[in-house]
């Protein structure tokens, strides 16, 4: 099926990531990781404001008071929506100079999950962490290399997770009451020619939407049988993540990057690093605020 993919914001960001649609204020939030920026975008007029965090930011959500809860270079911190000094919550990776935090989001119970990545891509040296409602941080998955996409199924009994170099989506059994995960299994693998699986979300039919870095696309997958249902081209080679939002959460917002692109690539994809959107014909999961 052909979709009308449009540019929401010609941001030309080096590394746009972590799109988060807030149901309360109806805005799209996203981060420019290496610049240490947290952005607030109104998609209709395409306006965008930002605050700087003073460190790289892999992901950011809002808490109940409207402050940012973010995953930074080495840990979790709180930052006013107006900017200013940040407040450290926990820094579990200060002893690992080869890591920074990467993608993350809140589960339906309001816990903030975020993982790290090895800057040198050393296999198995990163991890996935959870910041619970009491402000305690625990390591939930070890042996990770580049922690990325997260999604929870409609019954809230499964958590889907991507460690990018594995090119697999892993399903964990999860207990939403206490946040415990167990029994990991490979739900499906993605073909190497599609690029590297990055950020992820889930629609209201239980299908996963995955952004493919170096793949210039997002693709929809059935996690029960591993079938790729459809592939949607994005006018940027490095597609980083996606989320549902807008009216009735019927729009898929897509973030991209322009890092590492040469002049020829930038001529071919001048809007790389922008924020894109299209209507996929299905609504999807909301963004959740941190409930700490």
- 198 known member of a binding site: yes
Q: How far is CA 256 from CA 15, 243, 278, in A?
A: 7, 12, 14
Please, where are the H alpha helices in the chain? 263-268
Report whether 25 belongs to an annotated binding site. Answer: no
Q: Any catalytic annotation for residue 22?
A: no
CB 289 within 8 Å of CB 27? no
DSSP summary character for residue 93 = T
Buried b (16+ CB within 10 A) or exposed e, 15-50: bbbbbbbbeeeebbbbbbbebbbbbbbebeeeebeb
Look at strands 126-131 and 227-233 and give their pairing: unpaired
One of 48, 103, 198, 203 is an active-site residue; which one?
A: 198
| Residue 100 labeled ligand binder | yes
- Binding-site residues sit at 17, 100, 102, 148, 198
List, as residue ranges, the binding site for a divalent metal cation. Answer: 17, 148, 198
Q: Binding site for substrate: residue ranges?
A: 100, 102
Active site residues per annotation? 198
């Amino acid at each position: 099926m052909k979709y009308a993919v449009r540019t929401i914001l010609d941001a030309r960001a080096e590394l746009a990531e972590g799109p988060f649609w807030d149901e309360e204020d109806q805005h799209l939030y996203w981060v420019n990781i290496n610049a240490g920026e947290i952005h607030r975008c109104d998609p209709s007029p395409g306006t965008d404001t930002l605050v700087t965090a003073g460190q790289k930011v892999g992901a950011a959500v809002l808490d109940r008071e409207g402050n940012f809860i973010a995953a930074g270079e080495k840990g979790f911190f709180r930052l006013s929506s107006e900017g200013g000094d940040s407040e450290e919550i926990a820094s579990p990776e200060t002893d690992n100079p080869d890591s920074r935090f990467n993608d993350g989001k809140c589960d339906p119970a309001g816990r903030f999950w975020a993982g790290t990545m090895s800057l040198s891509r050393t296999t198995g040296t990163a991890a996935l962490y959870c910041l619970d409602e009491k402000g305690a941080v625990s390591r939930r998955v070890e042996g990770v290399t580049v922690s990325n996409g997260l999604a929870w199924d409609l019954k809230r009994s499964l958590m889907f997770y991507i460690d990018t170099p594995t090119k697999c989506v892993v399903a964990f059994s999860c207990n939403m009451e206490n946040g415990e995960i167990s029994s990991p299994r490979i739900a499906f693998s993605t073909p190497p020619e599609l690029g590297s699986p990055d950020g992820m979300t889930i629609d209201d039919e239980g299908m996963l939407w995955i952004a493919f870095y170096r793949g210039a696309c997002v693709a929809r997958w059935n996690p029960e049988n591993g079938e790729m249902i459809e592939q949607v081209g994005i006018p940027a080679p490095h597609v980083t993540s996606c989320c549902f939002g807008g009216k009735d959460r019927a729009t898929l917002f897509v973030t991209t990057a322009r890092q590492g692109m040469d002049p020829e690539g930038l001529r071919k994809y001048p809007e790389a690093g922008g924020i894109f959107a299209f209507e996929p014909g299905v609504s999807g999961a909301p963004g959740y605020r941190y409930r700490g």
